[in-house]
Structure 1
Amino acid sequence: MPGVPGRASRAGRRRRQRGSAVVDFVLVLVVLVPVFLGVLQVALVLFVRNTVTAAAAEGARYAATVGRDPADGVARTRSQIGGVLAGRYAHEISAHRVTIGGAPAVEVTVHVVVPALGLGGPGVSLVLSGHAIEEQP
């Protein structure tokens, strides 16, 4: 309607805003995707760390029982990790006898590299261990 003020300016404004929703969506995604991947990476690292630490502690307790040696603790740790995570996390496991506060003990150490999410990059390297005092017969 030619005599109604503001009507022509609204139509022109709609034409200028066409496609702006796509641009807004892309701008929001540029921020949200890296944040989401970062949260996912932290969750993966914490999950692997907690799982491997529990497996190392279980392996150390198993190796510290009467009639067992550190090699049994390595096998138990490898079995625990392989049951929850991929087998590649269970390849660098060592166990040896140590002394904790003057008492004989077993220490199981696991070296793990958690892969990076997203476009690559270095993984997160963790060295985790579990300890247990040896049982005496």
Structure 2
Amino acid sequence: MHSRRSAAEAGAAVVDFVLVTVVLLPLVLGILQLALVLHVRNMLTAAASDGARLAATVDSGPADGVRRTREQIAGALSARFARDVSARPTAVDGQPGVEVRVVAVVPPLGLWGPATRLVLTGHAIEEPR
């Protein structure tokens, strides 16, 4: 048996589609934005940690750690995320060490919404001489 739609139900599928899309589209875009921010955060943290480890070696200094961090970020993501990278000597659990700091802005995925500012650090204890 075939059911026929009445004239009152004509176009109901289009309305249902629009109502579901209005709810699902922001949800999907939010999940994609979260995934993008987490991916960038993890890559920046790994690059800062790698730069700090290099800066803490005997024959290297903070400038070498900054250079390595920028190279890692440019290779994994984009050089625009490596604009604000700094390194400084610091104490790590009471031991002399190096801290590499990365500040980056992750743009919004959709056409609206604020960008996310990330401030990440990597630490390493200096090698004994």
| TM-score (structure 1 length as normaliser) | 0.89
Which residue is equivalent to 1:107?
A: 99
Which of 68, 72, 88 aligns to 1:80? It is: 72
Larger Rg: 1
* Separation (CA, whole Å) in 2 of partners of 1:25 and 1:122: 28
**What percentage of aligned pairs have identical amino acids?**
59
Alpha-carbon distance in 2 for matches of 1:18, 1:61: 67
In the alignment, what sits opposite 1:93? 85
Q: CA–CA distance in 2 between the matches of 1:77 and 1:87?
A: 11
Moved over 6 A (4+): none
Select 1:47's aligned residue among 39, 53, 56: 39
CA root-mean-square deviation: 1.2
Partner Cα distance (1:85, 1:100) in 2:
28
Shift of 1:15: 1.7
Q: How many residue pairs end up in the alignment? A: 127
- Aligned counterpart for 2:121 among listed residues 126, 129, 134: 129
Stretches of structure 2 lacking an aligned partner (at least 5 in a row): none
TM-superposition CA deviations, 1:1-35 (whole Å, max 9, x none): xxxxxxxxx76x52211111011000000000000
* Structure 2 CA distance for aligned equivalents of residues 82 and 106 of structure 1: 21
TM-score, normalised to structure 2, is 0.94
Measure, in 1, the Cα distance between the counterparts of 2:76 and 2:125: 26
Q: How far apart, CA to CA, are the structure 2 residues paired with 1:47 and 1:19?
A: 42
